[in-house]
Amino acid sequence: MFSLGSWLPPLPGLAWGWALLDALLQGEIPPRVAWGQPGDSLGDTSDPLLPFPAGLVGACAILVLCSLLKVYLYIQCVNNPERQAEKEAIAARRPLLEPLHVLVLTGVLALVGSRVAALVVLEFSLRAVSSILSLGKGAHSSQLYLLCQYSLGCGVSCGLSFLLEGAPHRSWNLALAAGLAGLLALHARRLARHVCSLYELHSRARYCGVCILLLAAGHGIPRLLRNALALTFAVADLAAVELINRDFLSTGEAVRFWTPLTICYTLLVVYMQEESRQSTGRGLVFRTVLVRMGGLFILLLTVGRWTDILHVFVSLLGELWCLLHSGVLLESCWRQ
């Protein structure tokens, strides 16, 4: 039988291409071809559209976090007459920005590979533990919640990939998760709108159940977020370690990867702790993001793949986008 591959140069790197073209010319359905190495995003034999529902779930998790923090910070500003300007800034409506925010985050989280997402999750977990141990509870807690936005999205995506791996109806499970996450994000956004519009009136008149509940227990929102984030990142850390370790064929390969990773992350945490003691403000936050992603970029240049390098740049865009979107909330946290 005629085979196009027999008439073309026998290049090993293009063998899969010749086989694919032969199958198409002969009217056959070609088998899936394994690209790259195990765990590589190009070697994933699953539906290429599956990362988008996982990215949507991560984006919805970020939206819920920001909405609840917006409610908490707005209530704090209402109770303080000196923070009326902050209250107006928090309550300002941006009808087109929220859908765009969700779309951008969904695309970024869908494009980022599981390997880089896992590294982002582990780095933030180490940094969060270090910050909690050194600073304890206080005004910096709300700022830490805002700084974890992109890491939270990566953690949710990693957790879903880990929990749904091998599931018989993975596509339906992801669709259900995306629907539930979207519903939760929609209700959280409505709550934030309601509070920013009517909380002052309803809290004085005492005839709105939601506002009365927030008046009595609104101070517990940070504790609720802390517990939810602790559980989320605990699952995400386990998933991240599993997703990274599956690429190694031997213990030696794992040691060659984890040793420089541990050293790099430890140095990053020490540097950022010293930097936070010397300066504060928005400039510090953006410098921290650049240093973190720069360290990850240099690390993956030595032990990563070329796709990981591209995913680092995508992660940098995601981090910067989250910080720019929550600029008003960050300013309010710094002034607490």
- Residue 53, pLDDT score: 85
More confident residue, 303 or 160: 160
* Residues ≥6 apart with Cβ < 8 Å to 235: 155, 159, 162, 163
Mean pLDDT computed over every residue of the chain: 77
Burial of 265 per CB tally in 10 Å (0-12, 13-18, 19+) = buried
- Residue 13, pLDDT score: 43
C-alpha distances in Å from residue 39, one per residue of 42, 113, 156, 243: 8, 9, 18, 7
- Residue 188, pLDDT score: 94
Domain coordinates in residue numbering, the chain: 1-35, 51-243, 248-313
Neighbours of 298 (CB within 10 A): 12
131-135, 231-235, 294-298 — which is least confidently predicted? 131-135
Q: For 26-49, write each residue's pLDDT tens digit.
A: 444 444 433 334 444 333 434 455
Looking at residue 232, its amino acid is T
- Residue 249, pLDDT score: 67
- Residue 229, pLDDT score: 92
List the helix and strand counts (H, then E) for the chain: 14, 0
- Residue 183, pLDDT score: 95
* Residues ≥6 apart with Cβ < 8 Å to 134: 273
Say whether pLDDT at 52 is over 70: yes
Q: For 311-332, write each residue's pLDDT tens digit.
A: 889 999 999 999 988 888 888 8
More confident residue, 174 or 81: 174
- Residue 192, pLDDT score: 92
Output DSSP code: residue 31: P
More confident residue, 278 or 125: 125
More confident residue, 282 or 235: 235
